[in-house]
Amino acid sequence: MTETRQPARYTEYHPRWYRSRVSTWWWLAQWPYLKFILREISSVFVAWFVVVLLLQIRALSRGSEAYAAFERWLQNPLIVLLNMITLFFVVFHAVTWFNVAPRAMAIRFRGKRVPDFWIVGANYAAWAAVSLVLAWFLVRS
């Protein structure tokens, strides 16, 4: 008599943790959370800038009339308003990015860690220099 038995199958015990449900709007509860979400949302405005830049390239490629139309489009009050909001967010992105730079790059000099202040300061100085160089290229009447 042959007995066919399935080998016993064991499943690992998996505890089910108690987790209270988090509201979708958790990030409105406290300023640091809201700041975090605003910082993350800044990426949408970075993408919007890319769209504007590529539309400018396309208009330049199509000739002076197309470029004049592009310039008129930029004067549309709604676009100006959107670009004002965009400027706020891209500056917010830059400031928050530079302020965490010391945590991303721990630079050592003569065996000692360079203080955060100097790393942040160097970033702001470089930001100013880069901005001036780009403005020098673009501000030509």
Partner 1 sequence: MAKQSNEPVLWALFSAGGVFAAFVIPVHLFLIGLAFPLGWIPAPGYEYLHALVRLPLARLYVFALCSLALFHWAHRFRYTLYDGLQIKHLNELIFFCCYGGAILGTVWAGYLLWNFR
Selected binder of partner 1 within 2, 11, 20, 141 (CB under 8 A): 141
DSSP annotation string for 3-56: ---PPP-----------PPPPTTGGGSSHHHHHHHHHHHHHHHHHHHHHHHHHH
> What is the C-alpha R_g of the chain?
27
Distances in Å between the Cα of 3 and the Cα atoms of 6, 7, 8, 9 are: 10, 12, 14, 18
Residues in contact with partner 1, shown as a per-residue x/- string from 4 to 23 under the rule CB under 8 A: ------------------x-
Question: Measured at the alpha carbon of residue 89, what is the angle toward residues 77 and 49, in degrees to the nearest 5?
Answer: 65
By CB under 8 A, tell whether 118 contacts partner 1.
no
Residues in contact with partner 1, shown as a per-residue x/- string from 83 to 102 under the rule CB under 8 A: xx-xx--xx-xx--xx----
By CB under 8 A, tell whether 107 contacts partner 1.
no
By CB under 8 A, tell whether 78 contacts partner 1.
no
Contact between 33 and 27 under an 8 Å Cβ cutoff? The reply is yes
Contact between 26 and 33 under an 8 Å Cβ cutoff? The reply is yes
Task: Kindly state the smallest distance separating residue 109's Cβ from partner 1, in Å.
Answer: 22
Residues in contact with partner 1, shown as a per-residue x/- string from 21 to 60 under the rule CB under 8 A: -x-x--x---------x--xxxxx-xx-xx-xxx-xxx-x
Catalog residues that contact partner 1 under the rule CB under 8 A.
22, 24, 27, 37, 40-44, 46-47, 49-50, 52-54, 56-58, 60-61, 64, 67-68, 71, 74-75, 79-80, 83-84, 86-87, 90-91, 93-94, 97-98, 104, 126-127, 130-131, 134-135, 137-141
